[in-house]
Amino acid sequence: MRSAIYEGVVGHRRHSHDLTDHVANEFSQRLVLPLIYLDEVDEVMSLHPLWSAKRPNAAWMRRGDYLGDPDISLEVAARDEVEGALGRRPTGAIAMLGHLRTWGKISNPLCLFYCFDEETGGLEAIVAHVTNTPWGERHSYVMDGRSSCARLPKVMHVSPLLGMDHDYHFDWSEPGATLNFGIEVRHGESLPGFVLQIGEQGVAAGIAEVEGDPVDAGPQVVPFGPGLHLDVGKARAAQ
């Protein structure tokens, strides 16, 4: 199984408006996110009795919480987004990095879909699916994964402090032993007014087990949401 749980830090940094490099405000927060390959959803979400992809549960991968029409599969929706934006349809594996609905609640301001090339296994495209709060509007920014960065115009209102006349500068790494994804909000060539960095996320645990033992060495107990922890060494036995 390729799906995994990443543990790391998400950081936020806002620069002042005087066109200097002065940082007006910044903070960081530890973060745990599952990276789930969409062809492994049923297998992953059946590893623990409190997980589900088909009904409400403590951790629920509810189709309607994510990209596209809930009447079509998430894989098809991601491929449709890439084809519509880049003119080519990815045919390889797709992995989603994002929160699950936990104890009935979910907040997914940014959900990433990594689309891989079927022949080479390399990263072909990234879909950054943004949901704004409190309006609940959604928009997808699609990037060519064969690069490592992209700049796209802002097309949906998110922050009350930043107007629509801005661009997003994205940079990323391919998911592996570590994972990085960054967003800078820029106005022309000025310094970024806002920076979001999901930085140095490392694999805390492999989700798959063999004879009850974790595949990847790492912490045995991983926080998976408010009040919910995953003991990767016991997930198979608890199934």
Per-residue pLDDT at 111 exceeds 80 = yes
Q: How many domains does the chain have?
A: 1
Mean pLDDT across 167-173: 87
Question: Which residue range is the domain that position 193 belongs to?
Answer: 4-238
What are the respective helix, strand and coil percentages of the chain, to the nearest 5?
A: 10, 45, 45
The candidate with the shortest Cα–Cα distance to 192, out of 11, 22, 10, is 22
Per-residue pLDDT at 237 exceeds 80 = no
pTM (two decimals): 0.80
**pLDDT of the residue at 108:** 87
Question: 219 is written with which tokens?
Answer: 């912490």
Asked if 114 contacts 175 with a C-beta cutoff of 8 angstroms, the reply is yes
The candidate with the shortest Cα–Cα distance to 14, out of 198, 194, 164, 152, is 194
